[in-house]
Amino acid sequence: MTELLTPFAPGSHRACRTGLSFPDGEHVTTPRPHETLTIADLPAAFDWGNKGGTNFLTLLKNQHIPTYCGSCWAMATTSALSDRIKIARNAAYPEILLAPQVLINCGGGGTCSGGDPGAAYKYMATQGLPDETCQNYEAVNGKCAPFGLCETCVPGEDPDPFLPGTCSAVTSYSRYFADQYGSVNGGRDTDVSGAKVLVRIHFIIVVIRWTGLAPMGV
């Protein structure tokens, strides 16, 4: 899946998003959306939440429960990529929700004290992510191995108590990867006709309309 990001927003909560960088540079191998169409052809309105009566957006999340965690960088990137997956699958069941807790557990861009969405996409491109049936959100700085990627638990057996049961790492599970990632306003500053793209919102509209959601600075 391809992912593009907006620049760090002035006034953003810096305890949540520490900046935007790409540790090894952007990874964009195909033309960016605005380079393949004419800006004048953009629709007046477009909503992935109601496209022909179908909602292609995944559910909303709250990073602040069960305790405060400055994980907006992980929530935004996994939610945006989950939306891309839902769009690519034509909203088919079951809905796939990528696990932000794995990014926190495994050094995938930051911690509960903030992080870098660019580094999160690098992790997703190189390591991939499981969905939340593998690793629920806990809002803590957890450990990666052996349980921080994918785990399951079974009830305890006599004489052990029924709860909390016995947990074990799952070693065979599906992972989802980001194929490309980069800045939403990178690339050429012209559309396919050669017209100048002068307004940043044009870049964002094109990304949303043709490829899905773009995570914003928060």
Q: Is 155 within the bounds of a domain?
A: yes
Question: Which residues are paired to 196 by β-bridges?
Answer: 190
Dist. CA 115–CA 99, nearest whole Å: 15
Among 82, 37, 90, which residue's Cα sits nearest to residue 59? 82
Residue 153 maps to a domain: yes
The CATH number assigned to the domain holding 159 equals: 3.90.70.10
Question: Rounded to the nearest 10 degrees, what angle do helices 72-88 and 117-126 cross at?
Answer: 50
- Give the position of tokens 């980001």: 178
Q: What is the number of structural domains in the chain?
A: 1
Q: Worst-scoring range by mean pLDDT, 90-99, 126-135, 152-161? A: 152-161
Top pLDDT among 156 and 108 is at: 108
For the whole model, what pTM was predicted? Answer: 0.82
Residue 111 pLDDT more than 70? yes
Asked if residue 66 has a cis previous peptide bond (ω within 30° of 0), the answer is: yes
| Structural domain range at position 140 | 2-211
User: Which is higher by pLDDT, 65 or 211?
Assistant: 65
Query: Measured between alpha carbons, how far is 117 from 71 in angstroms, rounded to an integer?
Result: 10
Tell me, yes or no, whether 184 lies in a domain.
yes
Query: Does residue 218 form part of some domain?
Result: no
CA distance 138 to 119: 21
> Is residue 38 in some structural domain?
yes
Which phi and psi (to 5°) does residue 17 adopt?
-120, 115
Residue 216, in any domain of the structure: no
Higher pLDDT, 138 or 209: 138
Q: Which is more confident, 1 or 78?
A: 78
pLDDT at 11: 44
**Mean pLDDT (the chain, rounded):** 82
Residue 97 in any domain: the answer is yes
CA–CA dist 35, 189 (Å, integer): 8
DSSP line for 62-107: -TTSSS----HHHHHHHHHHHHHHHHHTTTPSSPP-B-HHHHHHTT
Express each pLDDT in 154-207 by its tens digit. Answer: 988 777 777 778 899 999 999 999 888 887 766 777 888 888 876 554 444 444
Give a yes or no: residue 60 inside a domain: yes
